[in-house]
């Protein structure tokens, strides 16, 4: 009998790394990483933990780590005394399309959320939480409202799931842009046609609110949001189909060539 405890799957890593590879490309599966990067593994030069959950969280938060923003660089010394500085890492999940940062709350970008693969939210630990929240010290209670806490006690307040923006693991990590209770507009590309050379591509997409309800075509341009602003100001032709559920946009270049 074998039991799999997959908090992170290689397929999730490959969504960005394509493919995941470390140590000269010889390690391409998360299971290999976790085999060596255990809680006992520490960088002897810097004292930084190389425990998989701590190491990976810190790498991906990079320049947004509170400790880095406070002036302390995050680096480790690797093989052949090679210094690897992660203080400038910009995590793609933390970037908006305009290059600005959003908060690091999209846990599901890396973590699976299916039965048997959801221990990341069912068993929160001090090591995992403080690897991102480096300005929190649970031993002393620094920057923790309830003061010092013992490892294993986090679940008493931080349940796996709960209301958005609440103290649960998923609630506390709700990114406002993905919130269902906050107002906003959700655009989804449905299809792109006429995309060949010399043609005029047409992009069809749906426009809904965050509850999944289609927006009234008479009011869609009056709704706030960056996407609607772009439609209003940058497009030349805008037409609605399917009762306002789909929108076609065109932008003309000089010489009446559409793109």
Residue 52 in domain: yes
- Co-location of 143 and 57 in the same domain: yes
Residue 257 in domain: no
- pLDDT value of residue 257: 41
Strands lying side by side in the sheet with 202-209? 185-193, 202-209, 246-250, 237-241
Q: Pick the closest to residue 57 from 115, 110, 5 (CA basis).
A: 110
Question: H-helix or E-strand containing 11?
Answer: helix 10-14
- pLDDT value of residue 113: 77
The mean pLDDT value of the chain amounts to 80
- Co-location of 66 and 193 in the same domain: no
| Domains: count for the chain | 2
Residue 256 in domain: no
- pLDDT value of residue 73: 95
Question: H-helix or E-strand containing 202?
Answer: strand 202-209
**Which regions in the chain score pLDDT beneath 50?**
223-226, 254-259
- Co-location of 165 and 215 in the same domain: no
- Co-location of 102 and 228 in the same domain: no
- Co-location of 195 and 101 in the same domain: no
- pLDDT value of residue 97: 52
- Co-location of 173 and 228 in the same domain: no
Write the pLDDT tens digit of every residue in 189-212.
778 788 778 888 887 777 777 777
- pLDDT value of residue 183: 75
Q: Bridge partners of 202? A: 193
Residue 5 in domain: no
Residue 4 in domain: no
Residue 120 in domain: yes
Query: Domain boundary at 177, 196, 222, which?
Result: 177
Residue 226 lies in domain: 185-250
Rounded percentage of the chain residues whose pLDDT exceeds 90: 36
- pLDDT value of residue 258: 40
- pLDDT value of residue 192: 79
- pLDDT value of residue 104: 76
Question: H-helix or E-strand containing 117?
Answer: none
- Co-location of 141 and 193 in the same domain: no
Cβ distance 78 to 89 under 8 Å?
A: no
């Amino acid at each position: 009998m074998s039991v799999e405890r997959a908090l992170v799957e290689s397929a999730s890593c490959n969504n960005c790394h394509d493919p995941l590879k470390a140590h000269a490309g010889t390690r391409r599966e998360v299971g290999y990483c976790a085999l060596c990067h255990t809680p006992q593994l520490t960088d002897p030069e810097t004292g930084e933990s190389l425990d998989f959950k701590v190491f990976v969280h810190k790498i991906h938060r990079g320049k947004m780590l509170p400790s880095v923003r406070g002036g302390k660089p995050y680096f480790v010394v690797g093989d052949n005394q090679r210094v690897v500085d992660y203080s400038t890492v910009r995590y793609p999940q933390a970037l908006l399309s305009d290059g600005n940062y959003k908060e690091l709350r999209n846990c599901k970008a890396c973590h699976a959320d299916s039965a048997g693969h959801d221990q990341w939210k069912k068993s929160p630990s001090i090591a995992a939480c403080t690897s991102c929240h480096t300005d929190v010290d649970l031993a002393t209670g620094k920057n923790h409202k309830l003061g010092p806490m013992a490892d294993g006690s986090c679940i008493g307040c931080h349940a796996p799931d709960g209301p958005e923006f609440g103290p649960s693991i998923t609630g506390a990590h709700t990114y406002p842009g993905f919130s269902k209770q906050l107002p906003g507009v959700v655009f989804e590309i449905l299809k792109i046609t006429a995309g060949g050379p010399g043609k005029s591509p047409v992009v069809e997409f749906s426009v809904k609110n965050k509850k999944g309800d289609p927006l009234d075509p008479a009011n869609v341009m009056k709704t706030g949001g960056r996407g609607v602003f772009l439609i209003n100001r940058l497009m030349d032709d805008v037409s609605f189909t399917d009762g306002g559920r789909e929108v076609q946009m065109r932008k003309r270049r000089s010489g009446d060539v559409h793109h």
